[in-house]
Amino acid sequence: MRFIDEFRDGELGRGLAAAIRQAARADRGYSFMEFCGGHTHAIARYGLSDLLPPSVRLIHGPGCPVCVLPIGRIDMAIRLALEAGVTLCSYGDPMRVPASASLSLIKAKAKLGRGVGSVETAGSTAAGGGIRMIYSPADALALAQRHPERQVVFFAIGFETTTPPTALLIKQAQALGLRNFSVLCCHVLTPSAIASILEAPEVRRWGTLPLDGFIGPAHVSTIIGTRPYEFFAEEYRKPVVIAGFEPLDVMQAILMLIKQVNAGQALVENEFSRAVSRDGNRKAQQLVCEVFELRRSFAWRGLGELPYSALRIRQEFAEFDAERRFAVAYQAVEDHPACECGAVLRGVKRPQDCRIFGSVCTPENPVGACMASSEGACAAHYSFGRFVDVAAVSETPGFVVAP
């Protein structure tokens, strides 16, 4: 299967759906969590849930790096632009995530004013402060080079996939001797999120989450490999299948998980072998270790404070750490009381279980990060019309909803 159309072949999909129905036992339920926003959107876009028997349930996990970023981290970025007068460069996804004081990055950009377009008018104040959406970290570095009179800060977010480019960016800035460039580092680590959910399957506020296995992330695994998941399979007896993003990838991973569960196995299998190896990208890993180190603790939306779950810039590159350069500190902020993003990210609620989903909260007017981000579960369900699943959560075997 060398071409993309083959991974979307309808006849092969129907064959996999039949194989899944045949493999799924009638006397039990299966609950599998995907840890990747790309998988969440593939499942919603291609209607994969509709192809599964009622006993097989897919659960959306914290696989959206923008969604798991707490409000306080967005606030830090906004304060740098509004108060410290920096030119903040950000990917497009975080721009519309709601923050404190009814702000977001895009609203803060509008507050700064001066229009859009060229660098000189891209939401910049006379002092040089502004917010600019970029497509590549290299854009932020180029901006700092062109405008040495400005302090340029790159708002670095994402899981292990986007961390190596940030590390390379910092090394390049050091080699160029830039004194007006720094990074607000908010990179987080996938295994820590998996461990958090496995160690705390019961949440008094929301209920109990049964899990029989995981559809492992694709892009993340190209960097870290399959080796880090072996601990979860051995320690928690939960099978993991690394899967690609195409619909047949996901369907094949589900079939592989069902077969493992039926056989009483807990192994790490690699469906995405065309891109993922056991050891991952050693060169990228080495680059990340050279520039970053583990934080003792980091706050995640929906998961709380998790130990050693995020990265910070090493002392050797401290001059490029925006948190140190501008002394900007994290302050915890509660999510909107009507927003269920935390529960959705933990997998204990579906997007459509939120009472404001699709009414007050839409992609045009997001109340929570899961609707604002293009990788969010709420955005996926809204965009592809997945408003109603075949079986409600309360009807899924083994699922207990808190009263």
Q: What CATH number has the domain bearing residue 127?
A: 3.40.50.11740
Residue 115 lies in a domain: yes
By the 8 A CB rule, do 260 and 239 touch?
Answer: yes
Domain presence at residue 141: yes
Flag whether 232 is in a domain.
no
The answer to whether residue 288 sits within a structural domain is no
Residue 268 β-bridge partners: 240
Q: Which of 290, 325, 360 is the last residue of a domain?
A: 325
Same-domain pairing of 112 and 150: yes
Query: Is the domain of 391 the same as that of 315?
Result: no
**321/359 same-domain check:** no
Structural domains counted in the chain:
2
Q: Per residue of the chain (403 residues), what is the pLDDT tens digit?
A: 467 888 888 899 999 999 999 999 999 999 999 989 999 999 999 999 999 999 999 999 998 999 999 999 999 999 999 999 999 999 999 999 999 999 999 999 998 875 333 333 334 443 447 999 999 999 999 999 999 999 999 999 999 999 999 999 999 999 999 999 999 999 999 999 998 888 876 555 555 678 999 999 999 999 999 999 999 999 999 999 999 999 999 999 999 999 999 999 999 999 999 999 999 999 999 999 999 999 999 999 988 899 999 999 999 999 999 999 999 999 999 999 999 998 899 888 899 999 999 999 999 999 999 999 988 999 999 988 755 443 333 343 333 333 2
Buried b (16+ CB within 10 A) or exposed e, 12-28: bbeebbebbeebbeeee
b/e map 339-360, b = 16+ CB within 10 Å? bbbbbbbbbbbbbbbbebbbee
SS3 content of the chain, % helix, strand, coil (to 5): 45, 15, 40
Same domain, residue pair 110 and 181: yes
pLDDT of residue 393: 38
Quick one: 358 and 314 in the same domain? no
20 φ/ψ angles, rounded to the nearest 5 degrees: -65, -45
**Could you tell me if residue 254 is inside a domain?**
no
Tokens of residue 190, six digits = 């996938």
Same domain, 157 and 184: yes
Q: Which amino acid is at 104?
A: S
DSSP state of 397: T
Compute the radius of gyration of the chain from its Cα atoms. Answer: 21
For residue 78, give its domain range.
Answer: 71-188+310-325
Contact 105, 95 (CB under 8 A): yes
Query: Which residue bears the tokens 């919603």?
Result: 44
Q: What is the DSSP letter of 91?
A: -
The answer to whether residues 315 and 367 belong to one domain is: no
368 within domain boundaries? yes
Q: Which of 295, 325, 355 is the last residue of a domain?
A: 325
Residue 39 lies in a domain: no
In the numeric block, which tokens belong to residue 170? 């910092």
Distance CA 161, CA 175 (A): 23
- CA-CA distance, 391 to 389, in Å (whole number)? 5
Q: For position 117, what pLDDT does the model report?
A: 34
* End position of a domain, from candidates 302, 325, 348: 325
Residues 98 and 132 in one domain: yes
- Domain co-membership, 320 together with 355: no
Q: What is the model's pTM?
A: 0.88
Unique residue bearing structure tokens 């990055």: 105
- The widest CA-to-CA distance across the chain, in whole angstroms, is 68
Q: Are 364 and 321 found together in one domain?
A: no
Is residue 49 one of the residues assigned to a domain?
A: no
| 109 and 152 fall within a common domain | yes
Angle between helices 247-263 and 10-23 (to 10 degrees): 20
- Cα-flanking dihedrals φ and ψ of residue 384, to 5°? -105, 15
Q: Are residues 319 and 341 in the same domain?
A: no
Scored b (16 or more CB within 10 A) or e, 186-207 reads bbbbbbbbbbbbbeeeebeebb
